[in-house]
């Protein structure tokens, strides 16, 4: 990842999210429960969106900050992938990229998979798709926990906008941020 140009890093980020988004669209078109649920995914309840979404983002960032301080760095080292992505982006581009990541991943994992196959399957698929964490037990457990938590937020909030992950991803980006170029 370190050898890639900034342009290649950005291209890889958007290619992966494009694949996730196309998969979500495929699910909404061809899976009956997902297609029927699509219009219900966008309920707007500002109290839940702000309260649950923002509060959740803060809790996740706080927990990750604590973990970063108490465990050896090698347990949480993803090979520099996240840092490299953030270094390739300007601050406004980070916000745009995290919104794209949040939208595409939540559409697939909560909107399509969770409505079709259920909470557990969606949460496990979320963790496995973050494949670079499979060799790092703590990172994989974190991905599982976040997947289950975002799935739970979707269940109680009854909207992709509650557990959308945009707030989570935005806060997490700033938490993990190294100086972008």
Burial class (CB in 10 A: 0-12, 13-18, 19+), 20: buried
Q: What pLDDT is recorded for position 11? A: 93
Low-confidence winner among 79-88, 98-107, 134-143, 146-155 (lowest mean pLDDT): 79-88
Q: What pLDDT is recorded for position 117? A: 93
Per residue in 74-124, pLDDT (tens digit) is 888 887 787 788 788 888 888 788 888 888 998 999 989 999 999 999 999
- Let me know: does 27 contact 113? Beta carbons within 8 Å: yes
Q: What pLDDT is recorded for position 77? A: 83
Instruction: Give me the residue spans of the domains in the chain.
Output: 6-176
Q: What pLDDT is recorded for position 20? A: 95
Q: What pLDDT is recorded for position 135? A: 85
- Let me know: does 110 contact 151? Beta carbons within 8 Å: yes
Spatial separation of the C-alpha atoms in residues 67 and 86, rounded to whole Å: 20
Q: What pLDDT is recorded for position 181? A: 45
Average pLDDT over residues 140-155: 89
Q: What pLDDT is recorded for position 163? A: 67
| Residue of 22, 31, 170 whose CA lies nearest to 108 | 22
| pLDDT for 176 beyond 80 | no
Q: What pLDDT is recorded for position 178? A: 46
Neighbours of 73 (CB within 10 A): 7
Q: What pLDDT is recorded for position 180? A: 46
Q: What pLDDT is recorded for position 169? A: 56
| pLDDT for 174 beyond 70 | no
Q: Which residue has the higher pLDDT, 59 or 22?
A: 22
Spatial separation of the C-alpha atoms in residues 123 and 50, rounded to whole Å: 22
Per residue in 11-58, pLDDT (tens digit) is 999 999 999 999 999 998 888 887 777 877 877 777 777 777 777 877
Q: What pLDDT is recorded for position 21? A: 94
């Amino acid at each position: 990842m370190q050898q890639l140009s900034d342009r290649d890093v950005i291209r890889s980020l958007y290619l992966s999210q494009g694949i996730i988004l196309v998969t979500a669209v495929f699910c909404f078109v061809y899976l009956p429960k997902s297609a029927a649920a699509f219009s219900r995914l966008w309920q707007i309840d500002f109290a839940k969106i702000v309260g649950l979404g923002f509060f959740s983002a803060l809790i996740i960032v706080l927990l990750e900050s604590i973990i970063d301080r108490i465990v050896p760095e090698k347990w949480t080292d993803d090979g520099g992938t996240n840092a490299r992505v953030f270094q390739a982006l300007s601050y406004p581009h980070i916000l745009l990229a995290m919104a794209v990541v949040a939208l595409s991943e939540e559409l697939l994992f909560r909107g399509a998979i969770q409505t079709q196959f259920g909470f557990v399957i969606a949460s496990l698929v979320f963790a496995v798709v973050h494949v670079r964490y499979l060799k790092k037990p703590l990172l994989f457990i974190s991905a599982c926990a976040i997947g289950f938590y975002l799935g739970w937020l979707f269940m109680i909030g009854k909207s992709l906008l509650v557990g959308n992950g945009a707030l989570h991803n935005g806060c997490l980006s700033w938490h993990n941020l190294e100086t972008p170029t």
